[in-house]
Chains A and B, each alone.
Chain A
Amino acid sequence: MMGEKRQIDARGSFCPGPLMELIAGMKAAKVGDELEVLSTDKGSAADIPEWVKKVGHEILATIEENGVWHITVRKAK
């Protein structure tokens, strides 16, 4: 079954920041849901995959467009 797709616009977020926004979003999501995080912090390209891997979710895409990172994650458990 396909999950829902949602976008988290964390551009310009220093606090709580894109990863914290994703963590909160993942808690509210269901297994199979896809969340796309928008971030203007280039650190997100490293710290989001690090957390996703550690917890056991899945990175679907990491794309940079005009200074905005689009990182798509699927909730796996």
Chain B
Amino acid sequence: MKIVIVGGGMGGTILGNNLARRLHRELKTGKARITMLSASDKHMYQPGLLYVAVGSMMPDELYRDQASLLEPGIGFHVDPVETFMLDKRQVKTKSGAVHDYDILVIATGSRAIMQGIPGLAENAETFYTEETAVKMLKRLREFQGGRVVITVGVPHKCPMAPLEITFMLHDFFKERGMRDKVQLHYTYPIGRVHSLENVAKWAAPEFDRLGITYETLFNMKEVDGKNKVLKSEEGSSTKFDLLVAIPAHKGMEVVEKNGLGQNGWIPTNRTRLNMEGQENVFVLGDTTNLPISKAGSTAHFEAETLGENIAAMVKVGSAVRDYDGKVFCFIEAGKDRATYAMFNYTTPPDPKEPTRAVHWFKVAYNKLYWASARGLL
């Protein structure tokens, strides 16, 4: 059984390691083979970028060599897939190599698109790449005071990022002794401050307590850089001295180019995680079109389900369980307190009051992530 995993991010890596352990006998006898095709020889801990933007982590802490994270039985190639030939059960890579598969897993991830909103790339700071997070940190360090506006595109990776960066900015400026010179103004696309109702019920009074103003039902339309005004689809506008954007995301270009899904999101069965209409093609993490959070934990829990199912398909010819929509997100409520939200398709989250203990667990997880990627945690 030839298993090909396209993508070496969190989902692909956890799945590959999970499968290599479950199928170690089959890998030895040649009954199974696992190949991973990735665009990079490095693996980035993406949630760390938030901390880079406020100076509490350095970029070099976020990377490991991808090969060092993988079980020995996995055939790893830095050779991204360019063409998907699903009818032939083959993929073709940048180097021209053709890989046959019996089971294909697509876990190519997503990317922030600043260019989708006129004027945004030229006038806003963001933190979804190393380069932009470092640039944002430098801008924050130079900022002498004024109105900081946080704006949010849809869909975006890490649903807690808008709240987290806002609370972290509050503490950043407070620590620098200039919070009284900074007005923080938060905008959000729907009619409350977060998509999760219980999180919104907690966050809005926190904003009030910290003097953070907010406007809901605000979807960015364009940025007038000359006058420093952000305009919304809903017809309102807000002035800024510093604009911080959580931009809308798309799936990867290769997905769109191969006609696998609009905007790079692949239509995916919500419990079996197979691509719609393709029994032997599975989709993981941000790449799905599922109506759940684009977050590392989503990819993690999907990968665990899929690891169990693909291993069972090799061993007994059948999947064994359904993905239940499980997501777990930490929520940093500043620089030293945090809470979390856990939910699935049927049960909404019920976040507790933020504590220092949960914050320190998150800080520990920033290091423990590498055990997670190796499939150990």
Footprint of B on A, CB under 8 Å?
8-21, 23-24, 27-28, 43, 47, 50-51, 54-55
Contact = CB atoms under 8 A, between A and B. Distances in A.
B219 A23 contact: yes
A51 B190 contact: yes
Given A8-B291, A12-B345, 11 more contacts: A12-B291, A12-B325, A14-B195, A14-B197, A15-B327, A19-B190, A20-B154, A20-B189, A23-B190, A51-B191, A55-B234
A15 B325 CA distance: 11
Contact of A28 (B263, B293, B341, B348): B263
A69 to B, nearest CB: 14
Nearest to A10: B291
23 contacts: A12-B325, A12-B345, A12-B346, A14-B196, A15-B196, A16-B293, A17-B190, A17-B195, A17-B196, A17-B291, A19-B189, A19-B190, A19-B191, A20-B190, A20-B195, A21-B291, A23-B189, A23-B219, A24-B154, A27-B154, A28-B262, A50-B217, A51-B191
Contacts of B263: 28
Given A23-B154, A28-B262, A55 B190 contact: no
B73 to A, nearest CB: 36
A54 B234 contact: yes
B370 to A, nearest CB: 26
A47 B200 CA distance: 15
Given A20-B154, A50-B217, A54-B234, A14 B190 contact: no
Interface string B246-284: 001000000000000011000000100000000000000
Nearest to B262: A28
B153 to A, nearest CB: 9
Contacts of B190: 17, 19-20, 23, 47, 51
Contact of A27 (B195, B235, B248, B341): B248
B159 A15 contact: yes
Given A8-B291, A9-B291, A51-B190, A16 B159 contact: yes
A10 B349 CA distance: 17
Contacts, number: 80
Interface of B: 116, 154-155, 159, 189-191, 195-197, 217, 219, 233-235, 248, 262-263, 270, 291-293, 325, 327, 329, 341, 343-346, 348-349
B234 to A, nearest CB: 5
Contacts of A15: 159, 195-196, 292-293, 327, 329, 341, 343, 349
Nearest to B324: A12
Residue of A14, A18, A20 with most partner-chain B CB within 10 A: A14
